Structure 1
Amino acid sequence: MQKAQKLTLAVLIQAALISTAYASEQSESKGFMEDAKGSVLFRTGFIDRDKKNVVPGTDTRSSAQSAIFDLESGYTKGIVGFGVGIVGDASLKLGDNKHAGNQMIPRETLNGEEQAGDTYDHWARGGANVKARISNTEVRYGTQVLDLPVLASNTGRMVPEYFEGVLATSREINGLELTAGKFTKNQMSEQINTDGNQLDRAVVWGAKYKFNDAFNASYYGLDSKNALERHYVNANYKQALANDSSLTYDFSGYHTEFDEQATTYSSTIGNEDVSGRSNNIWAISGTYNTGAHNLMLAYQQNTGNTGYDYGQNADGFQSVYLPNSYLSDFVGNHEKSAQVQYNLDFGKLGVPGLNWTTAYVYGWDIKVAGTADEGKENEFFNQVKYTVQSGFAKDASLRVRNSIYRANNAYENAYIGDTNEWRIFLDIPVKLF
């Protein structure tokens, strides 16, 4: 493990010192102020989860209004460029939100427990970061929104999940991107505490390479102290067909070793030994595209002695880069799942900006602690999104999403439970400079 981390860091350092295969980003810098950019995203969000087979009062419903800021300077000129950035958000709840949940709205602390208090009426969060760049290698330290398969910030709620630490990204060789970093704080979307997830230390490293326009592959690793060790691989190939059609093949998978202190779904519903827990989950999919139509078939499978778990261990609440992931992620212990998805781009039919996705996923062969019965689950998913294409509201979007989720008796109380969910998000981006 340590050898892999040191090797990745050594490659990053050496890559910054060797001649590049293409133009240097830093040499093209126009200046600290000249390349500065800033934006604010005004988001109105609503999530409603109607629990079907649980006691009254356990339904969750949240609605709020947020402004999400992203301010970024350019780099100073010279061999080494320097810059700064600010990310943050300010929000207020809409309505009383008596049944708030779904990682949308923070709660006030009551007797030391944040989830026991009333919801905040308004709140604000955020932080700053500093950055340096030499050639095509950037190092950034501070508060960041991450998009790595093994450490991904939740961006599907009102406001983003933040990590604090250092991240180095190098693109010195054409087609190759190397990444390495270390993070020491994790703030979930609904948390006021900047380290609400009590992250001790998370070290990440990885690489992705674009072989050509049709084929690319990647590998990423994560070592989260006292929580888990995780590895991710992906390969994607796009085959061109006649009449501008294509067939895309995708393989992705995770291997996770959980420490004894880690939280997993299985260990919270049974009394099994928490030592030696591991999980392998992989998925393969094929997507056929012709004109406005996309049809995807996917198969996903778990092995090991526990299910795939993410987010519970300060490892990113969106770290599930797998196809069978909607309301449910189909990540139960030993679970197998199959999906059929259809996407229609109305823009190619004369209605630019309108898109519809529908999918059905069925999961089976789930091992559930405390019973010998086979767990099963299924989800019917639909989403419609419209993005304004021109005019004063250009790039504003409205997204409406619905999931109908059901589990059999063996799995009903082990995971989500039968749920009808609605998500509605109105996003209005405004460019400041």
Structure 2
Amino acid sequence: MLQRTWWVRGVLTAGVCAPLLAQADIVDDSSLALGMRNFYIDRDFKNDNPARSRVGSWTQGFDLRFASGYTEGPLQFGVDANVQYALRLDGGGGRGDDTIIPYSVSSQSQPHDYGRGGLTFKMRYSKTELKVGELRPILPVVVIDDSRQLITTYRGGLLESKEIDGLTLHAGRLTEFGARNSSNYEKMYLQTGSGVVRGSDALNLAGGSYAFNKAFTGSYYYAQLEDIYKQHYLGLTHLADLGGGYGLKTDLRYFNNNEDGDALYGEIDNQSYGLMTILRKGSHGFGVGYQRMLGDSNFPTLGGYVPQPFLVNWSRVAFIKPNEKSWQARYDYDFAGMGIPGLKFMTRYLHGTSVKRAGDLSEAAESERNLVLSYVVQSGPLQGLGFEAGNVVAKFSHGNDWVENRLITTYTWKFW
């Protein structure tokens, strides 16, 4: 307890929060954890004359996260701290930009290490919480990217309120972000593939979700990336008990995207809707999904390879091109049903057609196949140690196919 107290005091003092030191709860309710991830990725491009024949890297990452408790009283205060750091282990770094490690175009090289960190000040009253500083939101209009090594983080303020049972409300203003492949923070911009960067002053958001009952949840969110785009999101989720051990989950999701203000990236015309349903029986899960892009633009995504997993067919290929129609078939299996808890398997196939190309060019098509096998140690001294192996095959009617392999090992050490 003494070691914990002094560590917390150091963080709070660094955060100019010395008056909080008198509050016991801020120490006793705190936590400190170190997440570790060893990540290997290799993407091999096929077909004739690809821009790069192969990209990839091997890295070891660390994510040290401290979360304080709250002071006493009706209006409560606290502070969190976070440091992310990664080392490149493969010794190369000359194969090109793998979108994981920072890449210098001028020197065509990658650094041997990189990282960033930040503080988050928090305030709570009743069931309403305000956080200001470094943030990791997971919302339909802005999310982190935890699919590579460093995790996408944002700077700004975010309010969450759960004063009414079943209703969760959010409002916020985010001014900068740290991309997964960057040690720096910068203004948010649009991912275009052209290399053009025109930063926005802020992303403003508001919305919420409401659980009408245990089976049905609805959500609506609005976001404005100032002078770039404005976005509306509507989502509906339904859970059905079909009896006999069968359960059905259905997600319906809709986005409407248009340009905003000075339209730094020009006109944006995109609407999308998607339907995903998963039937579960014991250890088995069977899923099918359909997604449609409408309008003349790609679905707008934030620069720095920020994902949009609230699209039902979001994947490595993404399936977000103009007029694209895509579907997927998915199968999951939990080996706990065979007496091997912690071992899981997933495979899916996605196919997109009717992609609109410039001028009179013919429509394009693309597909993706995933295989993922994962295992988490369930007991003993290595409890919580995770392993994952993944293989992706992506094919394009107009473009270079590629095959990607991943090997990931994860473990979280909880100090207290």
Which TM-score band applies after superposition, normalised by the shorter structure? Answer: 0.7 to 0.9
2:297 corresponds to which letter in structure 1? T
> Given that residues 148 and 319 in structure 1 are in contact (C-alpha distance below 8 angstroms), is that contact kept between their aligned partners in structure 2?
no
Query: CA contact under 8 A between 1:48 and 1:62: conserved in structure 2?
Result: yes
Change in Cα spacing, 1:193 to 1:35, as seen in structure 2 (3 Å) is: same
Whichever residue aligns with residue 28 of structure 2, its letter is E
Deviation at 1:68, TM superposition (A): 0.6
Q: Distance in 2 between matches of 1:50 and 1:309?
A: 27
1:160-179, aligned counterparts within 5 Å? 160-179=151-170
1:31 aligns with 2:25: yes
Contact (CA 8 Å) 1:326, 1:381: kept in 2 or not? no
Query: How far apart in 1 are the matches of 2:383 and 2:359?
Result: 53
- Counterpart AA for 1:343: D
CA positional deviation for 1:124:
2.3
Aligned to 1:59: 54
Q: Which consecutive aligned stretches of 4+ in structure 1 deviate over 3 angstroms post-superposition?
A: 54-58, 196-199, 259-263
Tell me the equivalent position of 1:318. Answer: 307
Shift of 1:84: 0.2
Please say if 1:90 is aligned against 2:85.
yes
1:120 Cα deviation after fit: 0.8
Partner residue of 1:45 out of 39, 42, 66: 39
2:358 to 364, 369, 390: 369
* Structure 1 residue 100, shift from structure 2 partner: 4.5
Provide the rounded CA distance (Å) in 2 between the counterparts of 1:47 and 1:192: 20
1:425 aligns with 2:408: yes
Counting matched residue pairs gives: 381
For normalisation by structure 1, the TM-score amounts to 0.84
- Structure 1: how far apart are the matches of 2:278 and 2:88? 40
Cα shift readout 1:387-427 (whole Å, capped 9, x = no counterpart) = 11111221221111111110113xx2xxxx41111122111
Q: In structure 1, which of residues 399, 404, 411 is the aligned counterpart of residue 388 of structure 2?
A: 399
Asked if 1:258 corresponds to 2:259, the answer is yes
Q: Which residue of 1 aligns with 2:338?
A: 349
The answer for the alignment partner of 1:223 in structure 2 is: 224
SS in 2 for 1:50: strand
Query: Equivalents in 1 of 2:338, 2:97: separation in Å?
Result: 39
The CA RMSD over aligned residues, in Å, is 1.8
- State the partner residue of 1:149: 140
Is the 2:94–2:108 contact (alpha carbons within 8 Å) kept by the matching residues of 1?
no
**Which residue of 164, 185, 195 maps to 2:186?**
195
Name 2:8's counterpart in structure 1.
none
Once residues 38 and 85 of structure 1 are traced to their aligned partners in structure 2, the CA distance between those partners, rounded to angstroms, is 10
* Counterpart contact for 2:115–2:182, Cα < 8 Å: no
Give the deviation of 1:102 after TM superposition: 3.3
Cα contact 1:406–1:418 (8 A) shared by 2: yes
- Give the secondary structure class of the aligned counterpart of 1:308: coil
Amino acid at match of 1:368: R
Q: Equivalent residue of 1:31, what SS?
A: helix
Alignment equivalent of 1:300, drawn from 283, 291, 295: 291
Deviations 1:215-264 (A, max 9, x none): 1111111101121111111111111012221112210121111346455x
SS of the counterpart of 2:73? Answer: coil
Aligned to 2:126: 135
1:104 to 82, 94, 100: 100
Q: Is the 8 A contact 1:161 1:189 kept in 2?
A: yes
Distance, in Å, in 2 between the alignment partners of 1:57 and 1:407 is 16
Q: Of 74, 77, 82, which residue of structure 1 is paired with 2:72?
A: 77
Q: Which runs of 5+ in 2 are unaligned?
A: 1-22, 189-198
Counterpart CA distance in 1 for 2:340 and 2:394 is: 31
Determine if contact 1:70/1:86 at 8 Å carries over to the other structure. yes
- TM-score under structure 2 normalisation? 0.88
CA distance in 2, matches of 1:60, 1:222: 34
Letter in 2 for 1:103: T
Q: Decide whether aligned partners of structure 1 residues 192 and 371 sit closer, same or farther in structure 2, where only a CA change above 3 A counts.
A: farther
> Do the aligned partners of 1:108 and 1:119 also contact (CA within 8 Å) in 2?
yes
Task: Give the deviation of 1:320 after TM superposition.
Answer: 3.4
Aligned match of 2:240: 239
| Rounded Cα–Cα distance in structure 1 between residues aligned with 2:369 and 2:321 | 18
Q: What is the CA–CA distance in structure 1 between the aligned matches of 2:33 and 2:82, rounded to whole Å?
A: 10
Alignment deviations for residues 25-49 of structure 1 (CA, whole Å, 9 cap, x no partner): xxxx971011101111111011211
Give unmatched runs, 5+ long, in structure 1. 1-28, 111-115, 264-273
Counterpart CA distance in 2 for 1:317 and 1:31 is: 36
Letter in 2 for 1:318: P
